[in-house]
Amino acid sequence: MLQTNTAGTSDYEQAIAEAKAAIIAKMTLSVGKDPGYATDRDWFVATALAARDRVTHRFLGGKRASKADGKKRVYYLSLEFLIGRQLTDVLYNFELYDIFRAALGDLGVDIERVREAEPDAALGNGGLGRLAACFMESMATLGIPAYGYGIRYDHGLFRQVIKDGWQQEFPETWLENGTPWEFLRSDVTYDIRFGGSVETKTVNNVPRFIWHPSEVVHAVAYDTPIVGWRGSNVNPLRLWSARAADPIALSLFNKGDHVGALSDQARSAAISKVLYPSDETAAGQELRLRQEYFFVSASLQDLINRHIRIYGDLYSLPDRAAIQLNDTHPAVAIAEMMRILLDDHNLRWDEAWRITSSTFSYTNHTLLPEALETWPLPLFERLLPRHLQIIYFINNLHLEATKKNFPNEPELLSSVSIIDERDGRRLRMGQLAFIGSHTINGVSALHTDLMKETTFRDLNRVYPGRIQNKTNGITFRRWLQQSNPGLTKLLCEVCGEEVLDKPELIKRLEEHADDPALQQRIAKIKRANKVVLCKIVTDRLGFRVEADSLFDVQIKRQHEYKRQLLNLLETVALYDAIRSNPTADWAPRVKIFAGKAAASYVAAKLIIKLANDIAKTVNNDPSVQGKLKVVFLPNYNVSLAEKIIPAADLSEQISTAGMEASGTGNMKLALNGALTIGTLDGANIEIKDNVGDDNIFIFGLTAAEVEERKRAGAPTATDNIAASPMLRQVLDAIGGGVFSPDDPNRFKPIIDGLRSQDRYMLTDDFDSYWAAQRRVDELWNQPEKWTRAAIVNIANMAWFSSDRTIAEYAEQIWKVPV
Ligand code: CR6
């Protein structure tokens, strides 16, 4: 029975009654179902639509306000936004979660099931895409008028299935039944042009360039509102979908060529069909370049239209707009902005360049050479002939200036040029982004230092002072408050409710680090979270793990530099050691792995198979029962992360030093009370600085030592293996087929790789990693001390809030008030 708004009901009861009425109305009038017949998905849609109504009012109100007050806007251009599920986020940030839970409860519906019915919006590969999602939430929270611009992929990151231990990829279909969160803006559609040729004309002695494209695709806008904490602000995430300019070639269709008649439509729509399935490797695919230009051009046309509508001309653009390039994926925006200013608005070159280079800034997210984006000139010219002309021009001016300022260093020119002349001529998008931006930032202190010393060393000399550091952050709303309500409740009690708005107050927890009562409560919360994860393991994999074991977690994309393999080598060594010495004081462990490998990344996929083969052997060996289990949880995504992170005891952050730009999973895990075992890489260093040396397990070579060993060429992998009997035994076991009796040579390529080249220096770090793991055992066996260290971790993670990161971007890069 619906409650009515009668006198005498409390505000809370009234709010529940209203929520109930709203959900029922949506179920009936929008979903078109009788509640009695509704599925979980129907309930999800009805609930989401009811929640969205609240958002929409705030959304439109905010748009009106920022239009009126002429505030500077931030445009965050990113090919990836890894948002995950939105229902809890929206309800929680609007402080409606309890009300909606109660409303659904009254209707006999469990909100947990409704939550689970929402597909993840997996429009990103990993850290970079998730960072963009955290940043959107923080910008809304801080009241920064911001637009996120990206692509509305029909298919997000593939669904991973593990079959006989091997990864298989299946398309992900989050839009199959539509999504209740977005608004289609069919009036916001732009022409995106490709190909053709450029005509040069001289008008009044001034050369003019007229681009005659050979193809036009439409970009259609879809807006998803992003809600800030306490509903303070709502900003749009505007994602573009590709449509053919002509939906069907009717003449062909009428001639009977029904498929051919749709081929243009298929070619155009392909642009927003699938998320590019790569994490940190740039394969030079034409479709990828089409995607990049497609969303950049639509976004710039859109923001320029808006600017002109409000301010009348483009000269004031740098004062009213800051455009952030999330990695080089949108770097073609530098050329597109110049094209629009020069060709469409007839500005002079130096005016256009002043506007462009004082509006853009660029974030670099990796220094891995194979991940630095470059395009073969012929491909780029075929797709974007006018842009190539502009880039040549930018490059000429840039090289001329460099020559003048560094007359005695001709070799500098080839290193700072946008065109790479080696190995076929290629466009270096990192150089373009750097040259066209007023500020360039790295994503952790170490990464920024390395940018200055390596990839951008010469550009940093030519344009000194442009590089800044902005260490990444995470939104605490999703990664603490929503995913770990037990811990959040305790923090509110111990540190005060204001902790929800001022994360720095978490520090107060540390005053109680030695209090046995608090330790017990923290341990109890962790255990409850682990029990939830145990159930997931049993449901998905069909075996049990014990919640009292140490949950040792490595969850991230599968990549050789992240060294899941190092963890597996240690797992095998531990397995051997337990069997040879069963009575020793081993900390009972569950090794938990999750993560996807790029579909074409053969080596990473073989490591997934190795993890699964080791799991099979270890989990079926009664001699290590109760001491060691290995779990590979398939299809890692944001929702699964929300379950694993609060349940983790140990966080594996073991990349080769110098290779992980920052990491953000490391922050989420430490905030939830997992202790880190890690190298001095990326943001691990800053985590160590915050939590203190005694509360983190650091091992391995430093970035400088890695470089030094590479330079010296010694010790070699052979030397390292010779020096470590344990490592030798592990390599012999894996290489000899102990874990793959059905195919003894299966893992030979992995082991041969380690013995010969060992590019990621596993053999250098193995012994030190093993020793660090034994320090982990030792601390685990002293539960009070372990929990104390966990408390100190939680208490000192406030600095890693993305609100802090975004406030720094706002003040130091975008120059917008917070
Ligand atoms: N793979 C970095 O490798 C960083 C994120 C976000 C990455 C990772 O260390 O935390 O970006 N880089 O800054 C790229 O995607 C290019 C990542 O997610």
User: How confident is the prediction for the chain on average, in pLDDT?
Assistant: 96
DSSP state of 693: G
Return the closest-CA partner of residue 113 out of 28, 16, 41, 23. Answer: 41
Cα 663 to ligand 1 centre (Å): 6
Q: Choose one of 80, 280, 444, 558 to mutate for the ligand 1 pocket test, by most ligand atoms within 8 angstroms of C-beta.
A: 280
Among candidate residues 288, 339, 470, 556, the one labeled active-site is 556
Q: Choose one of 662, 760, 806 to mutate for the ligand 1 pocket test, by most ligand atoms within 8 angstroms of C-beta.
A: 662
b/e per residue 210-237 (b: at least 16 CB within 10 A):
ebebebebbbbbbbbbbbbbebebbbbb
Q: What is the pLDDT of residue 204?
A: 87
Mean pLDDT of the region 316-322? 98
Nearest-atom number in ligand 1 for the CA of 126 is 18
Please say if the pLDDT value at position 508 is more than 70: yes
Please say if the pLDDT value at position 118 is more than 60: yes
Please say if the pLDDT value at position 7 is more than 60: no
Among candidate residues 73, 152, 562, 605, the one labeled active-site is 562
Which protein residue's CA is at the shortest distance from atom 1 of ligand 1?
127
Which protein residue's CA is at the shortest distance from atom 11 of ligand 1?
128
Among candidate residues 152, 470, 668, 746, the one labeled active-site is 668
pLDDT digits (tens, 9 = 90+) for 437-483: 999 999 999 999 999 999 999 999 999 999 999 999 999 999 999 99
Which protein residue's CA is at the shortest distance from atom 15 of ligand 1?
128
Nearest-atom number in ligand 1 for the CA of 280 is 16
Nearest-atom number in ligand 1 for the CA of 663 is 10
Cα 279 to ligand 1 centre (Å): 8
Mean pLDDT of the region 735-757? 98
Which protein residue's CA is at the shortest distance from atom 10 of ligand 1?
663
Nearest-atom number in ligand 1 for the CA of 664 is 10
Helix (H) or strand (E) run with residue 240 in it: strand 234-244
CA angle 10, 15, 18 (to 5 degrees): 125
DSSP state of 721: H
Cα 101 to ligand 1 centre (Å): 36
Token pair recorded at residue 41? 């998905």
Chain-centroid distance of CA 538 in Å reads 28
DSSP state of 274: B
Quote ipTM for the complex. 0.98
> How far is residue 34's CA from residue 647's CA, in Å, rounded to a whole number?
39
Cα 634 to ligand 1 centre (Å): 21
Q: What is the pLDDT of residue 282?
A: 59
Q: Is 557 annotated as catalytic?
A: yes
Q: What's the pLDDT band for 284 if we cut at 50, 70, 90?
A: low
pLDDT digits (tens, 9 = 90+) for 673-706: 999 999 999 999 999 999 999 999 999 999 999 9
Please say if the pLDDT value at position 214 is more than 60: yes
Which protein residue's CA is at the shortest distance from atom 14 of ligand 1?
365
Nearest-atom number in ligand 1 for the CA of 371 is 16
Q: Where are the alpha helices (DSSP H) in 340-405?
A: 349-357, 377-383, 385-405
* Strands 426-428 and 419-420, bridge-based pairing: antiparallel
Nearest-atom number in ligand 1 for the CA of 447 is 9
Domains of the chain by start residue, with CATH: 70-85+120-472+807-814 (3.40.50.2000), 481-731+764-800 (3.40.50.2000)
Please say if the pLDDT value at position 2 is more than 50: no
> How far is residue 197's CA from residue 219's CA, in Å, rounded to a whole number?
22
pLDDT digits (tens, 9 = 90+) for 529-572: 999 999 999 999 999 999 999 999 999 999 999 999 999 999 99
Nearest-atom number in ligand 1 for the CA of 443 is 13
Can you spell out the DSSP letters for 414-439? HHH-SEE-SSS-EEEHHHHHHHT-SE
Which protein residue's CA is at the shortest distance from atom 6 of ligand 1?
128
Mean pLDDT of the region 650-679? 98
Share of the chain above pLDDT 70, in %: 97
Q: What's the pLDDT band for 240 if we cut at 50, 70, 90?
A: very high
Q: What's the pLDDT band for 399 if we cut at 50, 70, 90?
A: very high
Among candidate residues 73, 85, 218, 365, the one labeled active-site is 365
The residue type found at 439 is T
Cα 367 to ligand 1 centre (Å): 10
Please say if the pLDDT value at position 4 is more than 50: no
Q: What is the pLDDT of residue 100?
A: 98
Q: Choose one of 81, 276, 365 to mutate for the ligand 1 pocket test, by most ligand atoms within 8 angstroms of C-beta.
A: 365
Q: What is the pLDDT of residue 340?
A: 98
Cα 479 to ligand 1 centre (Å): 18
Q: What is the pLDDT of residue 9?
A: 78
Q: What is the pLDDT of residue 369?
A: 87
Chain position carrying tokens 């055992």: 777
b/e per residue 485-494 (b: at least 16 CB within 10 A):
ebbbebbeeb
Can you spell out the DSSP letters for 625-641? TTTEEEEE-SS--HHHH
Cα 334 to ligand 1 centre (Å): 22
Q: What's the pLDDT band for 247 if we cut at 50, 70, 90?
A: confident
Ligand 1 pocket by C-beta < 6 Å: which residues?
126-128, 131, 279-280, 327, 365-366, 371, 443, 472, 660-664, 682
> How far is residue 438's CA from residue 317's CA, in Å, rounded to a whole number?
14
Q: Is 365 annotated as catalytic?
A: yes
Return the closest-CA partner of residue 525 out of 676, 673, 675, 691. Answer: 673
Nearest-atom number in ligand 1 for the CA of 129 is 18
Cα 329 to ligand 1 centre (Å): 13
Q: Hey, is 769 helix, strand or coil?
A: helix
Q: What's the pLDDT band for 524 if we cut at 50, 70, 90?
A: very high
Cα 127 to ligand 1 centre (Å): 5
Q: Is 562 annotated as catalytic?
A: yes
From residue 647, how far is each of 495, 528, 641, 651, 797 by CA, in Å? 22, 8, 10, 11, 17
Token pair recorded at residue 317? 């653009």
| Contact assessment for residue 801 and residue 475, using Cβ atoms and an 8 Å cutoff | yes
Cα 687 to ligand 1 centre (Å): 17
Can you spell out the DSSP letters for 471-526? ---B-HIIIIIIT-HHHHHHHHHHH-GGGGT-GGGGGGGGGGTT-HHHHHHHHHHH
Q: Which of 60-69, 236-245, 593-602, 772-781 has the lowest mean pLDDT?
A: 60-69
> How far is residue 787's CA from residue 369's CA, in Å, rounded to a whole number?
41
Token pair recorded at residue 579? 């069997």
- Backbone torsions φ then ψ of 241, nearest 5 degrees: -115, 140
Mean pLDDT of the region 171-187? 95
Cα 515 to ligand 1 centre (Å): 38
Mean pLDDT of the region 738-754? 98
From residue 565, how far is each of 200, 240, 601, 624, 741 by CA, in Å? 56, 38, 15, 21, 19
